[in-house]
Chain A
């Protein structure tokens, strides 16, 4: 096997780029790197499925929910909604099935943490899923996994087969009369499926267009039934919380951002990777130390702190902390934890154009501002980058970003496209003016001059 191909099973350490091994703040990744961690036997040797046993034999469902609430865990998919509160929305005592749906459609540009979890420790996710099922009174979980994730798919399939063979999935898991099952549903390539109601539409075999709410999925989700939808990383925290208690988890982090989270750092850094950090760590430490900072001779110009849908921050953003509220106060959002770093050899207008290409392509077409706005912005960027811009285009960018935002669409995709235009214009207006008014790019000129 050529060494550039990721092994699909076997030694996960071969190209583990990011956190692994014990450290005070490694709640998720402390076992990562252990030979064979993806197998049930090794996961169990290190205490795996102890939390499920504890949950099912020593705790009532409401106790589990209380621990998750106490932990202060907030959703790691992007919105940061308190997990315990979300669990509490699932109605009790309704007849008929309820579902746990795992959002494994990781597709926010710059975000790789869910893949990192599933490839390294698939059983940690599955244990969290089963505990969530028990806590909300569901017997069936569906993992919606993005279709391109062949590696995680094979890892999860193998892990589920092991659980069936061992009787942890089935009619009497751990000899207890509480049937449990997990199925995987593979996506087919659509960013919008990361939005929870679009995901449900896709799971039901439809074009993935977000639903109007209410009703919320907790009341009427998959196939019309009460459904809990959580992100992969969110549920992967649950075994630790059950084992150690919510109060212990809440000792990590600060303010209303408790615990640790995985940040995937990519772009122009020397040591890209997925790093588990305690919430509150500064972006300077994450980008400059853990990820090694920009390449030699380059200066960091800007970074997107939470996937490309989070408004870009210029260099001063390094002193912002990863606390969810502080990122919001800085005018951006912690989002999905995908930190994209750009150095001073890249043009911001060109970067914004590439991101608008993404939003234009991924718009589901349901809401007019997003369907029309994304493509209109993209065509405007193309015109400007071809040297045909004018002051009119500055006004067009402004008009488009405004009409994409402010809740004019059913989901956040339109807003996100608006954020890209608005934030890059706010912090890097001079580059827009150069392109639109002077038909030149000083960044490109510098790069060309340096290489001459």
Chain B
């Protein structure tokens, strides 16, 4: 809605007390009266128009001049305590800042490099371990090959031409188990274990 001079309650001329009251003025006056009601009850609404706020500030200035507004004891206590907390907190941070300012540069550098030194040593150790494992791998393979039973007749699929050699395979299995049993028995005796 467009505003004109008559609408501008802050800058336009104030009518005489007996001047005609327009519906618009009555509406504005009612809104302001309700704001005054709430303010006197200590419930000033946080949101209001700029013009209403300006007029309400005037009303407050008048009231405070006549002693209508005092800071309650509880409010005063809470404001003082909060100020002290904030003030002491600010002083503490200043103190810690001073301490940081006098830290020797050399010491500070050493602290800065420490994580990198630890990380480098750790990486060197890890690389050495990988190298050792890589160098040991061929010996391990040879050992594995030496004990491999890949060509054992008991291991692997049975060829079609040996499908009728079941009894021979059973004999071979029995002999293999017997060898294992003997090895175990002999080993135990050699070490002095129970027979």
Partners in one complex: no
Using a CB–CB cutoff of 8 Å, the interface residues on chain B facing chain A are none
Using a CB–CB cutoff of 8 Å, the interface residues on chain A facing chain B are none
